[in-house]
Amino acid sequence: MSKANNAGFTCENKLPEYYSSDIADFWQQGAFASFSGVDQLSIEYAVFLHKTLARKCLVISPGRCEGYLKYKELCFDWFNQGFNIFIIDHRGQGLSERVLDNRDKGYVENFQYYIDDLATFIETIVYPHCDVGGTINKPYILAHSMGGAIVARYLQDYPKTIQAAVLSSPMFGFNSGAMPKVAAETVVKLAAKLNHCLSDSPWYFFGQKNYCEVAFTHNRLTHSPLRLGLFNELYSQTPALQLGGVTIQWLTESLRALETLFSKLDQIITPTLVIQAGSDKVVCNQAQTAFCQQLQQVQPLACASGSPLVITGAYHELFFERDIYRQPALTAAAKWFEQHTPA
């Protein structure tokens, strides 16, 4: 079997070989740098540019716990689709700066800071490469999980900056298991009050802890032992990437951001495709469906189908799944971008 399928995306059975050859060579072409985000926090990013200028630009917004080093295969795939690649490490994760003494705690002071960082990244790093002969070719954007929530809020605040968006397993709601949504949110609010009253340090939410490698048999992210193994190996070899569970503050800010998202859906005018992992056990699929239905009602052109594209049986991390789930997701994203290419 070839290393890539007919759509040009890498295949799982050749991935170990590819990592040490083609992907490694590709990665050496990248430019790796940082900029100052909100409160002068150092935000890391990577850029991969084609030698010719007349290329499409793709911004990648990773999910929680992730950084650009985890996305080597995905960056390689999209670069081979003809895109210049721009990928950001959100504050508090990846190689970007963290603000707490305990680096493992998933924390953000204000969810809006994620959005403001992304806006700075797109305006100062991405857009200069989208100017072709004095004409701006607006970039496309691809996002996963928490990165999808950040991008959706960004599209509300900056409605005319992105050509088209694809959101994979976006974090539009949390999977609280058997606990009703209202009860779960009440628990978060009570925990926040308790944390505020008893300590100046952000607490982990109940059951959350420092980074611990997840065995394949217990993971809820992917059916691919190979891709999960590469992820675990990367984080073992690069401890700076490791991130543990979420703090009460992170949950509080995320819930507030999602409330804002759903209250201002009419501000999203960018053509947006939501790709849903059918067997997702991390985020709430019902919230993704509600997002699409409600967006279609207020902005039909932004979400013409009125429903997510469901990859049946897939776990949360569609971009790191088995090929039978990953390839359809990537192919759908490529078709969406092609469909919304300016004449």
Separation of CA 153 from chain center: 13
Q: Is 336 helix (H, G, I), strand (E, B) or coil?
A: helix
Q: What is the pLDDT of residue 7?
A: 67
Torsion of CA 305, 126, 138, 301, to 10 degrees: 20
* Average pLDDT rounded to a whole number, residues 83-111: 97
Residue 325 backbone dihedrals phi, psi, to 5 degrees: -105, -40
**Beta pairing, strands 140-144 & 83-88:** unpaired
Mean pLDDT check: name the lowest of 52-56, 214-218, 320-324: 52-56
Q: How far apart, in whole angstroms, are the C-alpha atoms of residue 111 and residue 330?
A: 28
Nearest CA among 100, 47, 73 for reference residue 226: 73
Split at pLDDT 50, 70, 90, the class of 2 is: very low
Do 308 and 247 form a contact (C-beta atoms < 8 A)?
A: no
325 has a pLDDT exceeding 70: yes
Q: How far apart, in whole angstroms, are the C-alpha atoms of residue 193 and residue 277?
A: 34
* Average pLDDT rounded to a whole number, residues 38-44: 98
301 has a pLDDT exceeding 80: yes
Q: What is the DSSP string of 45-58?
A: EEEE--SSS--EEE
Split at pLDDT 50, 70, 90, the class of 1 is: very low
Mean pLDDT of the chain: 94
pTM above 0.85, yes or no: yes
- Could you report the per-residue pLDDT of 104-152, keeping only the tens digit for each? 999 999 999 999 999 999 999 999 988 776 667 899 999 999 999 999 9
Highest mean pLDDT: which range of 3-12, 19-28, 135-144: 19-28
Split at pLDDT 50, 70, 90, the class of 8 is: confident
